[in-house]
């Protein structure tokens, strides 16, 4: 088994099973209990929303936010865990209803930038430089609602405010084409990295690619990852799976399309991702049908499938690959891949 990959997930990946159509079906698990599960499940990194670390942050002064975040850092140390990133949860506050950074209301935009600075204070207290921006409501339900050209400048301005606030801060933009909005402004990694280039310090702005988000955009997640790797900008991943064009499912990695999962692992191997020290994040959800005592299996299972696919990538017969490519016989190459995957 390949051991050099490091794995992470967010506390939201252990959840009580509520969905838009029904209430929780499992008891909620406290943050402290969740932390205890990380190592047991084979994970070393914790992904945070700012308010996962400091739940009442909107009611607290900056110094108190920092103090509470330092307490969380002690909890991480106690479990031998590290924080991978902190993401500002801008989409639950009333001021983020119409987008936060791209709201038409200047007061809401100002709030969002302040929140990003508090998120940075939390990141520093937790010992990470990385901020993830999933731009949940930065978009529109109807096009006439915003000036989309101006909205992109607002995004650049917000990122610049963070880069200026903390000269060590790094940002990974997590693209997603839709949901909750009809259209989200940064739908692909191409959009994200083009925007990154126009910020005040492009070297500190990269991307996080989620399998399901790329699939919802009609793109191949492995090619999205390859694009970011080619530019040295793949700073995290949210591996999961997605069964066609429906709501964001966050299924267990490899569960809908094993070959596409193989190709994501292949591209991470080709790009030397493990060697960058970046985490393999698994943004997976337990099925609502899962009983409480088994509602963490999706995490361990996703990790296990990832590692099995690393083995598959490393043991794919190179001579066959070389010969098929030399002959331009991609039918033979495809059959070799399929047989390798089914173990024949």
| Given 210, 233, 282, 298, the residue binding ligand 3MF (CB under 6 A) | 210
Cα torsion 148, 153, 157, 159: sign: positive
Site string for ligand 3MF, 96-125 (x = CB under 6 A): ------------------------------
Query: Which range in 59-67, 209-217, 269-277, 311-319 contacts Mg ion by CB under 5 A?
Result: 209-217
Rounded least distance, CB 329 to ligand 3MF, Å = 39
Tokens of 303: 């990790």
Contacts (CB under 5 A) with Mg ion, residues 272-291? 283
Q: What is the 3-state secondary structure (H, E, C) of 94-145?
A: HHHECECCCCCCHHHHHHHHHHHHHHHHHHHHHCCCEEEEECCCCEECCHHH
Q: Which one of Mg ion, ligand 3MF, none is in contact with 121 (Cβ closer than 5 to 8 A by kind)? A: none
Exactly one of 65, 72, 87, 286 binds ligand 3MF (CB under 6 A); that residue is: 87
Backbone angles phi, psi at 83, to 5 degrees: -80, 130
Residues with Cβ < 8 Å from 320, sequence gap 6 or more? 332, 333, 336
User: In which element (H, E) is residue 208 found?
Assistant: strand 205-210
- Please identify which residue in 98, 121, 170, 210 interacts with Mg ion, judged by CB under 5 A: 210
- 241 near ligand 3MF (CB under 6 A): no
**DSSP 8-state class, residue 97:** B
Annotated catalytic, 241? no
Helices 31-41, 62-79: axis angle to 10 degrees equals 40
Q: Which of 50, 51, 52, 98 is catalytic?
A: 52
* Residue 262 in tokens: 């193989």
- Using only C-alpha atoms, the chain has a radius of gyration, in whole angstroms, of 20
Omega cis (within 30) before 180: yes
Determine whether 49 is an active site residue: yes
Q: Does 224 bind ligand 3MF (CB under 6 A)?
A: no
Q: Residue 268 and residue 168: Cα distance in Å, rounded? A: 26
62-79 helix and 106-126 helix, angle to the nearest 10 degrees: 40
Tokens of 201: 């310090």
84 part of the interface to ligand 3MF, by CB under 6 A = no
Instruction: Considering only the stretches 19-27, 31-39, 204-212, 328-336, report the one whose residues sit in contact with Mg ion under the rule CB under 5 A.
Output: 204-212
Q: Is 170 in the site for ligand 3MF (CB under 6 A)?
A: no
The region of 9-17, 139-147, 161-169, 234-242 touching Mg ion under the rule CB under 5 A is 234-242
Least gap, CB of 64 to ligand 3MF (angstroms): 24
- Set 15, 19, 44, 49: catalytic member: 49
Q: Which positions touch Mg ion (CB under 5 A)? A: 210, 238, 283
Catalytic residues: 49, 52
């Amino acid at each position: 088994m390949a051991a050099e990959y490091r794995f992470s997930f967010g506390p939201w990946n252990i959840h009580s099973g509520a969905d838009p159509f029904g209430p929780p079906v499992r008891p909620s698990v406290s943050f402290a209990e969740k932390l205890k599960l990380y190592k047991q499940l084979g994970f070393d990194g914790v992904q945070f929303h700012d308010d996962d670390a400091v739940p009442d942050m909107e009611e607290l002064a900056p110094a108190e936010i920092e103090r509470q975040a330092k307490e969380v850092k002690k909890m991480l140390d106690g479990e031998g865990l590290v924080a991978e990133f902190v993401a500002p949860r801008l989409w639950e506050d009333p001021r983020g209803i119409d987008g936060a950074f791209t709201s038409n209301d200047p007061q809401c935009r100002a709030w969002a930038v302040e929140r990003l600075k508090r998120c940075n204070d939390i990141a520093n207290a937790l010992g990470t430089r990385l901020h993830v921006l999933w731009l949940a409501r930065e978009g529109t339900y109807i096009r006439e609602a915003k000036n989309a050209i101006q909205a992109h400048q607002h995004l650049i301005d917000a990122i610049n405010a963070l880069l200026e606030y903390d000269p060590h801060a790094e940002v990974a933009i997590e693209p997603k084409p839709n949901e909750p909005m009809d259209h989200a402004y940064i739908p692909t990694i191409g959009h994200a990295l083009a925007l990154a280039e126009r910020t005040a310090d492009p070297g500190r702005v990269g991307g996080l690619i989620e399998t399901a988000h790329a699939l919802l955009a009609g793109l191949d997640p492995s090619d999205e990852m390859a694009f970011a790797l080619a530019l040295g900008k793949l700073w995290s991943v949210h591996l999961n799976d997605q069964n066609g064009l429906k709501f964001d499912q966050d299924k267990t990695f490899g569960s809908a399309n094993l070959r596409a999962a193989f190709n994501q692992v292949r591209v991470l191997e080709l790009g030397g991702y493990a060697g960058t020290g970046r985490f393999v994040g698994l943004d997976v959800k337990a099925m609502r049908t899962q009983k409480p005592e088994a509602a963490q299996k999706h995490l361990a299972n996703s990790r296990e499938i990832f590692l099995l696919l690393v083995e598959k990538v490393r043991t794919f017969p190179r001579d066959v690959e070389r010969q098929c490519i030399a002959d331009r016989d991609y039918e033979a190459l495809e059959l070799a891949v399929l047989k390798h995957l089914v173990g024949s």
